[in-house]
Amino acid sequence: MTAAPDDCLARNEWICGAYLSSRRGILLDAAVQHIRLTALSVLIGLLVAVPLAVLARRRGWAAGPVLAVTTILYTIPSLAMFSLLLPLYGLSATLVVAGLALYSLTLLVRNILAGLRAVPEETRQAARGLGYGPLRLLLAVELPLALPAAMAGLRIATVSAVSLVTVGAIVGYGGLGNLVYAGMNTYFKAQVLTASVLCVLIAVVADLLLLGVERLLTPWTRATRA
């Protein structure tokens, strides 16, 4: 049977509206999984990175080992990282989240630590003079002032995670990467292009959202620029 002239699926074209309309549910499920894996990995990485950065700032001797270990983790190829974590998590979404969380530590720890180190010592002394203890000093003074640098690291880590999630397709949990991988194996042009474009859109939207959050949380930086 001859394909209709307007059947872009049959002609296997890169840009195909019929693919979007007929695979809407599949694309949505893949995008939701992609966002969920990205968000979980970055959140877990952030929860681990903040204590590590604070430790490195408060205990000078810890800075070298913390930065060295997180840097080494970042140099491990993604396939090797997943292979090393495979005995612990098996072929699961947790495997992908754990690997991406470890990758995010380098960017997050370095930027948070840089932000903490940039807090003026006279500001710390003034806070101590007002009776601030170590915990209150950290929460009310140091972390807020370190936010611009921390948010910069968070934005980079998030965009990187959006990209790296696609590698999770090798274990069946790659979000849109599953569609890219399957499309490349079958040379399904519309699927490869559509899933790839959606990955880019997710990265751009995530970066813009975090930029907006940064501006809301750090109004003094806008005043300084003005």
Q: Assess if residue 12 is contained within a domain.
A: no
Six token digits for residue 137: 């000093």
Q: Assess if residue 8 is contained within a domain.
A: no
Whether 134 shows a pLDDT value over 90: the answer reads: no
Q: Assess if residue 2 is contained within a domain.
A: no
Quote the pLDDT of residue 146.
87
Six token digits for residue 170: 């090798």
Q: What is the CATH number of the domain that holds 43?
A: 1.10.3720.10
Quote the pLDDT of residue 219.
75
Mean pLDDT score of the chain:
87
CB 173 within 8 A of CB 37: yes
Give residue-wise pLDDT tens across range 182-192: 888 888 888 88
Q: Assess if residue 140 is contained within a domain.
A: yes
| Number of compact structural domains in the chain | 1
CB 90 within 8 A of CB 31: no
Q: Assess if residue 151 is contained within a domain.
A: yes
Average pLDDT of 10-16?
81
Q: How far apart are CA 175 and CA 203, in angstroms?
A: 13
pTM of the prediction?
0.86
Whole domain around residue 60: which residue ranges? 17-225
Quote the pLDDT of residue 6.
58
